[in-house]
Amino acid sequence: MKKIIDINNISHTFDDGYMGIKNISLSIFQGEFIILAGKNGSGKTTFLRHLNGLLLPDTGHLIVNGQDVKKHLVQTRRTIGMVFQDADTQIVGDTVFDEVAFGLENLKIKRSQINEKVTQVLEDLNLFHLKDRNPHSLSGGEKRKLTIAGILVMDPQVIVFDEPFSNLDYPGTIQVLTTIIDLNRSGHTIIIATHDVETVIYDATRIIIMEQGLIKEDGAPADIIRLLEFYGVKEPSTSKFGLGIQPWRK
């Protein structure tokens, strides 16, 4: 598998002296489906924001497709798209179409190409019939899908999700989960920070557990699943009852 992200000993300290992440080193390969788990304050979000260049490491190097993130911010943000926890606070456009077009307009792509790509992505995610709607009037699941569309239109190789299932009802969670799994099957590398491991573990290829800014565990779901509760993350019920890893959705 092709290596996309190479993280070499990165650390980040905030202005108040709090160390968000400490000496993290790992590699991420094309097509992986990674769950990033850990308690609140374990450093998951800080780590994810480094991947997209929203935060830069104080020490160490973060290399994306062979290029240092610090020197190639725009290229990094095109390669690694980020979907934030609260959909409402990341929606910029006042129609669904404009929201998806935002990233491409920033890249100064020609209008005809923007229209073509946005239409394609909206159709792929089954959102085209909503193209003239105000994004804030959509349901929770639709809003989350819209934020994914806004990232997907920029052709990223890696999509990073920060708590993608928070505040979603069951149908909304199914909608978003199905979209994420389809994206992974179409070749995108997926990284999900979540407390809700049970929802995605069946499709994951790797689990990374963080605690106090450090990576404590990194391995295949089957090897890590029994250790989850030791780090304050709920172990899936099927595993607790001895049924191993089962799919969450039918």
Partner 1 sequence: MAQVTPFTYRQGKSILHLLDVRCKFFIICLLSMSLLPAHFLACFFYGFILFFFFKNAGLNILSTLNHIKYFILLLFFIFIARALTMKGDIIFSFYDLSITVQGLNEGFLVSFKFFLVMLTGVIFSSTTKPSSVKSAVQWFLKPVPFVPEKRVAIMISLALSFMPVILNQAREISEAQKARCADLQKNPVKKIIRLVLPLLKKTFLSADYLVLAMESRCYSDDRTDPEFIPSGKEFYFLAASVLLSLGFAWL
List interacting residues with partner 1 (CB under 8 A).
49, 52, 54, 74, 77-78, 81-82, 84, 86, 88-95, 98, 102-111, 114-115, 132, 134-137, 150-151, 154
State how far the Cα of 27 lies from the Cα of 6, in Å rounded to an integer.
5
**93 versus 232: smaller Cβ distance to partner 1:** 93
**2 versus 110: smaller Cβ distance to partner 1:** 110
In the bound complex, what is the minimum distance in angstroms from residue 198's beta carbon to partner 1? 27
Question: Residue 17: exposed, middle, or buried by beta-carbon count in 10 A (0-12, 13-18, 19+)?
Answer: exposed
In the bound complex, what is the minimum distance in angstroms from residue 92's beta carbon to partner 1? 6
Q: Is residue 200 a contact partner of residue 247, using CB atoms and an 8 Å limit?
A: no
Q: Are strands 80-83 and 214-219 parallel, antiparallel or unpaired?
A: unpaired
**76 versus 175: smaller Cβ distance to partner 1:** 76
In the bound complex, what is the minimum distance in angstroms from residue 237's beta carbon to partner 1? 32
> Which are the contacts of 124, defined by CB distance < 8 A and separation ≥ 6?
152
In the bound complex, what is the minimum distance in angstroms from residue 60's beta carbon to partner 1? 21
State how far the Cα of 25 lies from the Cα of 61, in Å rounded to an integer.
9
**91 versus 228: smaller Cβ distance to partner 1:** 91
